[in-house]
Amino acid sequence: MYGLGIILIELLTGKSPVDAEIGLHGNLVDWARYCYSDCHFEAWVDPLIKVDALKNLNQIVEIMNLAVQCTCHDPATRPYAWEVVKTLESVRRSSTLCF
């Protein structure tokens, strides 16, 4: 699940694990957690998808939350595959996002 969380973060933010903007946070996951917990949602959204993301803000937040859950430091607290599928299906049904 950790790897899936990284992929979700990369897809939403357009950033790679070695992006210079991550700076003092040290790694992509810590940067993403900081932005998520401090409500810097605009930093989470890749400018290439920002217009569509604003139309589907609730769904973007759900996927962000899923990415944060998938990258929990304690593997026991990460969601199971069936929970991830259920969440992604729910997001797909309730949005106009293409994925």
pTM metric for this prediction: 0.83
pLDDT tens-place string over residues 43-85: 778 888 888 877 888 888 899 999 999 999 999 999 999 999 9
- Ordered by where they begin, the domains of the chain are 2-93 (1.10.510.10)
Q: What is the pLDDT of residue 73?
A: 92
Half-sphere exposure in the Cβ direction for 11 (13 Å, CA): 15
Q: What is the rounded end-to-end Cα distance, in angstroms, of the chain?
A: 18
Mean pLDDT of the chain: 85
CA distance 6 to 38: 19
For residue 86, give the 3-state DSSP assignment: helix
Q: What is the pLDDT of residue 96?
A: 61
Higher pLDDT, 63 or 96: 63
CA distance 48 to 80: 30
Asked whether 13 and 46 are in contact (CB, 8 A), the reply is: yes
